[in-house]
Amino acid sequence: MRTFLLAMSCALVALVPAALPAADEGYESIFDGKSLNGWDGNPDFWRVEDGAITGETTEAKPTQGNTFLIWRGGDVADFDLKVEFKIHNHNSGVQYRSFEVPDQKWVVGGYQADIDATGKYMGLLYGEKFRGMLAKRGERTMIGANHKPEVVGSVGDPDDLLKKVNLDDWNEYQITAEGFHFVQRINGVVMSEMTDDDTEQRRASGIVALQLHQGPPMKVQFRNLRLRRLSAQANAAPAPGAQPAAEIKKIAFVAGKPSHGFGSHEHRAGCLLLADALNRSGLPVKAEVYAYGWPESPSVLDDAATIVCYADGGVKHPFNDHLAEVDRLAKQGKGIACLHYAVEIPKGESGDAMLRWTGGYFETDWSVNPHWTADYSQFPQHPISRGVKPFSINDEWYYHMRFRAGLEGVQPILTTLPPSETLSRKDGPHSGNPAVRAAIARGELQHMAWASERPGGGRGFGFTGGHFHWNWGHNDFRKLVLNAIVWTAGLDVPAGGVPSRTLNAADLVANQDEPVPNGFDPEAIESMVEEWNRPGE
């Protein structure tokens, strides 16, 4: 039906504005299809032709510098804008949340959705007179205090994305800006995405304008311009495929007490890092951290979509004295995720509950907790794996976990074969037992992270790494856990995984409960993190 309406609009648009399809309910037309009423630009270059706003320069009449046609309908903040465009030569774009340059008539700066006839710049997000390139086609970026974009993920191969664009005909640009998250789509396909965490330079609102670029003669046309203003309360925009921004999902972190000294089992600091990444991700989430064990007011968990426990386990596990409460929350469909020592809980009533909630747990005299370097070269086709590249890292990787019988409803996420050296200790509640020794001798693969779905609804996740606080600085290690948390909250994980900025030594030292010891070398941590995250590694 939509194809038919668009085809008909080509014949009728010169007479009246095309009727908006049902999918465009809530949008206002900002171009009447026959005049430039409400628009302001140099009349030497802008006109209406064949029902379309048309900008054109010629050899005889070039523009000295980029010039713009400005919509005078007022500033826009959070919005969704749809614009059909056709470019005949050279370069153009759609400006949004932009500003007029003082003392320069019809000159604009700000965020720009780029258009060009060759495809080189098509779909990218550019900062006209405003920090330059912000996100190339195919990139998901984040801008921080240094005012420069950092690539934190991918929305697709740039060459494949360009194939979705008809360079010789009409296309539709869709630009979504909510909070400080921006998504640019062409013909319904995400071309680029950016989260602007640059609190000094980012723009919360501004004008809409159309660009005519200086240089060789060119012609660009725009039609069916439709604007939908979004709620000012929606401060976080969803990544492609995620829930609407209005449905903000609360993520509750239950962080345990200090226990292992500086740089290890830093539960509060680790939760704060993960929560900060989630809150900056642009996803419709609100992450909150409740430190030092079970919350004093457990009602704070009632509106959570998922509960993440990162704490000492065993007899010290925060859930032990609250099994009925956690079970009630799980039966409501809330996610339950446990990190590192929090996957260990006493067998019996607690262990049986953990099997129901997450699908597996560390059982004493069955599971083991050696320190070793695990290589993860392959991942299953699962949302938690999205955007995660193979990685190798030393940690206290527990294995030979107790899972539901037959792994019912359980999907292993991190799997490898631990070396025999991991069983060099004598048998003990955590160090070894005949069953695990036989399993490794047989070459049985072991699972260090897993996802589960409960028959009555709700998702679980277990992750045995996380002993060393520095490991949160590994982008893929961290991304996998962020993906899992988002998944347990019932959200779709973005195609390139949950974006987050690369951390440095200062980030990792911040908020630790233990004092920084004498002789601590932050440069060594910085070098290790840089080595982990070096492009191509």
- pLDDT exceeds 90 at position 157: yes
Q: CA 310, CA 479: separation in Å to the nearest integer?
A: 16
Render pLDDT for 68-119 as a digit per residue (tens, 0 to 9). Answer: 999 998 888 899 999 999 999 999 999 999 999 887 899 999 999 999 999 9
Strand partners of residue 289: 253
Q: CA 328, CA 316: separation in Å to the nearest integer?
A: 21
Which amino acid, one-letter code, is at 308?
V
Q: CA 265, CA 47: separation in Å to the nearest integer?
A: 65
Q: CA 350, CA 43: separation in Å to the nearest integer?
A: 75
| Of 175, 92, 95, 170, nearest in space to 129 by CA | 95
* Residue % of the chain over a pLDDT of 90: 79
- pLDDT value at position 15? 30
- pLDDT value at position 248? 85
241 vs 293 pLDDT, higher one: 293
- pLDDT exceeds 60 at position 16: no
* Torsion angle (degrees, nearest 10) of CA 489, 495, 499, 505: 100
For 524, other C-beta atoms within 10 Å of its C-beta total: 11
Q: CA 203, CA 78: separation in Å to the nearest integer?
A: 11
| Of 63, 57, 44, 62, nearest in space to 87 by CA | 57
Q: CA 274, CA 388: separation in Å to the nearest integer?
A: 16
Categorize the per-residue pLDDT at 346 as very low, low, confident or very high, splitting at 50, 70 and 90.
very high
Give me the DSSP letters along 5-72. HHHHHHHHTTTSPPPPPGGGTT-EES--SS--TTEE--TTTEEEETTEEEEEE-SSS--SS-EEEEE-
Indicate the pTM of the whole model.
Answer: 0.59
**Least trusted range by pLDDT, from 19-23, 187-191, 515-519:** 19-23
- What is the distance between the terminal CA atoms of the chain, rounded to a whole angstrom? 48
**Taking the CA atoms of the chain, what radius of gyration do you get in angstroms?**
27
| Contact residues for 519 (Cβ-Cβ < 8 A; gap 6+) | none
- pLDDT exceeds 80 at position 329: yes
Render pLDDT for 464-485 as a digit per residue (tens, 0 to 9). Answer: 999 999 999 999 999 999 999 9
- pLDDT exceeds 50 at position 9: no
- pLDDT value at position 219? 97
Categorize the per-residue pLDDT at 198 as very low, low, confident or very high, splitting at 50, 70 and 90.
confident
Ranges of H-type helices in 223-348: 267-280, 323-331
Q: For all residues of the chain together, what is the average pLDDT?
A: 90
- pLDDT value at position 452? 97
- pLDDT exceeds 70 at position 375: yes
- pLDDT value at position 312? 97
Render pLDDT for 399-452 as a digit per residue (tens, 0 to 9). Answer: 999 999 999 999 999 999 999 999 999 999 999 999 999 999 999 999 999 999
The residue-averaged pLDDT of 277-293 equals 89
- pLDDT value at position 243? 37
Q: From residue 515, give the alpha-carbon distance in Å to each of 94, 258, 511.
A: 51, 11, 10
- pLDDT exceeds 60 at position 241: no
- pLDDT value at position 231? 59
- pLDDT value at position 24? 61
- pLDDT exceeds 90 at position 247: no
- pLDDT exceeds 90 at position 299: no
- pLDDT exceeds 60 at position 4: no
Burial per residue of 252-287, b for 16 or more beta-carbon CB atoms within 10 angstroms, e otherwise: bbbbbebebeebbbbbbbbbbbbbbbbebbbbbbbb
- pLDDT value at position 397? 98
